[in-house]
Every structure is written in structure tokens, then in C-alpha cells.
Amino acid sequence: MSKTITNEQLFSIATSFCIDEFMEIFIERRNSDSWTIISSGRECLYSDSDKWEYETFPSNRTEEFIQKTRFGSVIEAAERYLRWRNEKYFIVCKYNNDRKWYCRFWGVDINECEKEFQKTISRGERIQKID
């Protein structure tokens, strides 16, 4: 006879949570008591600024990087991501081919996002805006 796993048990063994499917952002466990906010491009959000930095292999991570990109709980990381997300404008587009690939631009200024979008179009890439 199988036992039913509780939400608390499931939560305690989980190592990754998708917090924003559209932007492909995850909260991932890094050890028994720390978590990071990471994009599908392997960039981590700083805890104290809007900076995202590429996460290298563990042996190449500096102590400064670890301190700036780690959170003591999933809740703390989720709250930080939501503060960051709520302050941004986004332009999201996708290629018109079979690959599901999104390009994302964000910034506190909508005009900055629009400039990035126009640069992408001017390179001749087949992109369309998504509402």
C-alpha cells in the first residue's frame, strides 16, 4: 500500500521552483540553507540590486558572488524576484520558426526596452511582438 506524500514533505525535497514560466525564471536550492534566483540563461539576480550575473561552475564562484546571489529561504527569494519583476517593463518577442525561443528586454524605462526591440528588428531577425 502506498503512502500519500504531504505538501510539506514534497516542499522539503524540492530543489527547484519555476517562479515565472514566461520569463523562464527559477528559484533553485544551492545547499541545505540557501537558494538562488536563476534564469534559463544561468544568470542569477543579486539580492541587493537589479544586476544579473552569470553563474559559473561551483569551483569558479567567488565568495562575493555567492553572498550577493543567495537567499535564506524560497519565500525570501520569491519576494525579491517579485519586487524586481514589478518594477520592470518588458518587451517579449518570438522567432517565427519551429523553435520556441523568446528574446526578452527589460528596463525601468519603456523607451529603453523599445530601443532594444528596434535594434533586434534592424538586424533582420524574424521577430514579432506578442501581446
**pLDDT per residue as tens digits for the range 8-44:** 888 888 999 999 877 789 999 998 889 999 998 899 9
Domain that residue 110 falls in: 89-129
- Based on the structure, what is the number of domains in the chain? 2
Asked whether the predicted pLDDT for residue 112 surpasses 80, the reply is no
Residues 44, 95, single domain; the answer is: no
Same domain, 40 and 71: yes
Q: Are residues 39 and 26 in the same domain?
A: yes
The pTM is what? 0.70
Tell whether 8 is covered by a domain. Answer: no
DSSP 42-93: SEEE-SSSS-EEE---GGG--HHHHHHH-BSSHHHHHHHHHHHHHT-EEEEE
